[in-house]
């Protein structure tokens, strides 16, 4: 919309009305925002008593607007109830304010090595679809610190704390030119409460329970066997349930290592009982064989003594 050779500057800012939920399995997040864009179109300058023209949504299709799109967006919805949720204003100097209410579903790459003590930076990337930076550049309207507003009450996260957000801009190259990409990073830190209650505490209690079997008489084979097998099955169930809320990643997480160590303690208790039972039976069998040999030797000596006494008597 600018004169020949001029670059159109599109100033943007975002107001987040609702952030969440975040899906670990799909590695995505959803948020509801007011997405604001401001630029100057010299062709729309006017003079008169009215400083700002407040136009309806039908006028949006009559003038030029930036072809902004979300690069990592999976699905974006522009709200139309009860009317299209858009605000359109033109100032006397040709400056245009264009605001939309959007629900955005975007990718959030996650590295879950430290799960559940992990944190993530979920990006929102947007830029022009067709216009290179020689025609359009994007900037933050209120600077890098205040252009993205996330009120505390807007966060609706159950498993995360939204600890802040940062912004950046970059230029990428493609076959059709260089494009300016604006990025917002929403920094998330996972809450530990759910996993302490559902995973960590049951695992610790199961390990303690497996050690109780050592206090049971080693001759009580059924009781110790029940303890060992029950705790092993419990750890297996906890391991499976812990994975339900995670994507099928190819690497081990911190929780996987914790469960593996707990499983090793529980399984070693069962193996130790089996070893103790085996060596106890072996010792018993040796004692029985020794007693049998002693009895046989005593019988043989007794049999040899009786004829000798008969000869003396005769």
Domain residue limits, the chain = 8-191, 194-305
Question: What per-residue confidence (pLDDT) applies to 19?
Answer: 94
CA atoms within 13 A on the CB side of 178: 6
Fold for the domain defined by 194-305: Methane Monooxygenase Hydroxylase; Chain G, domain 1 (1.20.58)
Question: What per-residue confidence (pLDDT) applies to 190?
Answer: 94
| DSSP summary character for residue 250 | S
Question: What per-residue confidence (pLDDT) applies to 169?
Answer: 92
Report how far residue 229's alpha carbon sits from residue 206's, in angstroms, rounded to the nearest whole number.
Answer: 12
Question: What per-residue confidence (pLDDT) applies to 136?
Answer: 94
Tally Cβ neighbours within 10 Å of residue 278. Answer: 10
Strand pairing class (177-190; 160-174):
antiparallel
Question: What per-residue confidence (pLDDT) applies to 5?
Answer: 65
- Three-state DSSP at 176 gives coil
Vertex 30: Cα angle to 27 and 31 (nearest 5) = 145
At the second CATH level, the architecture of 8-191 is Distorted Sandwich (2.70)
Low-confidence ranges of the chain (pLDDT < 50): none
CA 275 to chain centre: 41
Pick the closest to residue 89 from 62, 53, 59 (CA basis). 53
| DSSP summary character for residue 2 | P
Q: pLDDT digits over 167-194, tens only?
A: 999 999 988 899 999 999 999 999 999 8
Report how far residue 128's alpha carbon sits from residue 112's, in angstroms, rounded to the nearest whole number.
Answer: 32
Q: pLDDT digits over 286-298, tens only?
A: 888 888 888 888 8
Q: pLDDT digits over 24-38, tens only?
A: 999 999 999 999 999
């Amino acid at each position: 919309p600018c004169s020949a050779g001029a670059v159109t500057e599109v100033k943007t800012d975002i107001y987040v009305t609702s952030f969440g939920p975040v899906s670990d399995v799909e590695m995505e997040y959803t948020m509801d925002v007011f997405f604001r864009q401001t630029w100057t179109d010299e062709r729309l300058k006017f003079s008169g008593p009215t400083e700002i023209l407040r136009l309806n949504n039908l006028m949006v299709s009559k003038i030029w607007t930036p072809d902004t799109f979300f690069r990592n967006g999976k699905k974006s919805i522009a709200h139309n109830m009860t009317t299209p949720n858009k605000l359109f204003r033109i100032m006397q100097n040709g400056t245009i304010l264009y605001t939309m209410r959007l629900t955005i579903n975007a990718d959030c790459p996650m590295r879950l090595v430290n799960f559940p003590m992990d944190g993530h930076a979920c990006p929102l990337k947007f830029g022009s679809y067709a216009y290179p930076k020689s025609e359009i550049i994007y900037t933050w309207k209120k600077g890098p610190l205040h252009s993205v507003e996330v009120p505390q009450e807007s966060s609706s996260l159950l498993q995360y704390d939204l600890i802040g957000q940062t912004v950046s801009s970059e230029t990428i190259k493609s076959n059709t030119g260089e494009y300016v990409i604006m990025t917002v990073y929403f920094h998330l830190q996972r809450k530990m409460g759910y996993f302490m209650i559902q995973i960590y505490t049951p695992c610790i209690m199961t390990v303690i329970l497996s050690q109780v079997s050592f206090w049971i008489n080693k001759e009580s084979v059924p009781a110790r066997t029940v303890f060992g097998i029950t705790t092993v099955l419990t750890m297996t169930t906890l391991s499976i349930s812990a994975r339900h809320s995670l994507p099928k990643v190819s690497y081990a997480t911190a929780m996987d290592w914790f469960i593996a160590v707990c499983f090793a303690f529980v399984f070693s208790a069962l193996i130790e009982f089996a070893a103790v039972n085996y060596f106890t039976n072996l010792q018993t069998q040796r004692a029985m064989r020794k007693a049998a040999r002693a009895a046989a030797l005593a019988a043989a000596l007794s049999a040899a003594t009786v004829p000798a006494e008969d000869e003396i008597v005769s």
